[in-house]
């Protein structure tokens, strides 16, 4: 899972990025509205954090442009203004949720996880495949009741596959949701990560679809 953070205040931006990375996300950052607009259209983020008060192009205009260009990524608005009219304008522009500054970092993480889950069409906060469960709000994996310990990269792949279960996902798509802008993206690394995840699970729920990619689903009979 990969997030774009658009915030011009350096301290807040860094704090958000750090929190999200610790919470298991790959994170890119935009410092102004121009960067935000460009990155948001160029990369397949799972969610975007958007400050409304951005230099160059304000957040609301950026959001309008994303939606006009067909970008459907869920957007969580950060706003210092708590007036309802501002929130309403945000929702009319296509925002999915908002938090009012100052906010708790944990709340941002929680709301982003819920946004990502809902946008993937998952109604339940606990995603299940066979004996394996992903508790989406905590970012916790359990296999037959036992905790599963994945590295951050393994976790991002696994979480993406769980959110998009029973669909064939290409290596390129996985790479785009696992790495930030500055990481090398060798597709064979994805294969290595997948086999490491498989070794940590009691049964195989990640199936190789030859020539296409991977599909997460119940173990084959």
Nearer to Ca ion, 56 or 173 (CB): 56
Residue 51, interface with Ca ion (CB under 5 A)? Answer: yes
CA dist 159 and 155 (Å) reads: 6
Binding marks (x or -) toward Ca ion, 3..22, rule CB under 5 A? -----x--------------
Nearer to Ca ion, 8 or 28 (CB): 8
C-alpha atoms less than 13 angstroms from C-alpha of 143 in its C-beta half-sphere: 13
Q: Cβ atoms within 10 A of the Cβ of 26, count?
A: 21
Shortest separation between residue 32's beta carbon and Ca ion, angstroms? 9
Nearer to Ca ion, 24 or 40 (CB): 40
Residue 53, interface with Ca ion (CB under 5 A)? Answer: yes
Nearer to Ca ion, 53 or 139 (CB): 53
Both tokens of 181, joined, read 């802008």
Provide the β-strand partners of residue 190: none
Q: Is 66 exposed, middle or buried (0-12, 13-18, 19+ CB in 10 A)?
A: buried
Are 86 and 95 spatial neighbours (Cβ–Cβ below 8 Å)?
A: no
Residue 35, interface with Ca ion (CB under 5 A)? Answer: no
Residues 190-209 that bind Ca ion (CB under 5 A): none
Shortest separation between residue 9's beta carbon and Ca ion, angstroms? 6
Q: Give the residues lining the site for Ca ion (CB under 5 A).
A: 8, 51, 53
């Amino acid at each position: 899972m990969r997030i774009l953070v658009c915030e011009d205040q350096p301290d807040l931006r860094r704090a958000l990025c750090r929190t999200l990375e610790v919470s298991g996300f790959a994170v890119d950052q935009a410092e102004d509205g121009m960067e935000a607009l460009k990155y948001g259209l160029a990369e397949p983020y799972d969610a975007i954090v958007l400050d409304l008060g951005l230099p160059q192009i304000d957040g609301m205009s950026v959001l309008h442009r994303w939606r006009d260009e067909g970008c459907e990524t869920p957007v969580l608005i950060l706003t210092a203004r708590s007036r309802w009219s501002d929130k309403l304008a945000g929702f009319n522009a296509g925002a999915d949720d908002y938090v009012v500054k100052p906010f708790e970092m944990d709340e941002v993480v929680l709301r982003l996880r819920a946004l990502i889950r809902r946008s993937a069409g998952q109604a339940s906060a606990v995603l299940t495949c066979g004996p394996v469960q992903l508790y989406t709000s905590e970012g916790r994996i359990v296999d037959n009741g036992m905790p599963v310990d994945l590295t951050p990269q393994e976790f991002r792949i696994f979480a993406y596959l769980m959110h998009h279960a029973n669909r064939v996902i290409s290596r390129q798509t996985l790479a785009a949701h696992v790495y930030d802008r500055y990481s090398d993206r060798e597709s064979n690394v994805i294969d290595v990560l997948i086999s490491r995840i498989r070794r940590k699970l009691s049964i195989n729920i990640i199936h190789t679809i030859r020539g296409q990619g991977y599909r997460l689903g119940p173990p084959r009979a």
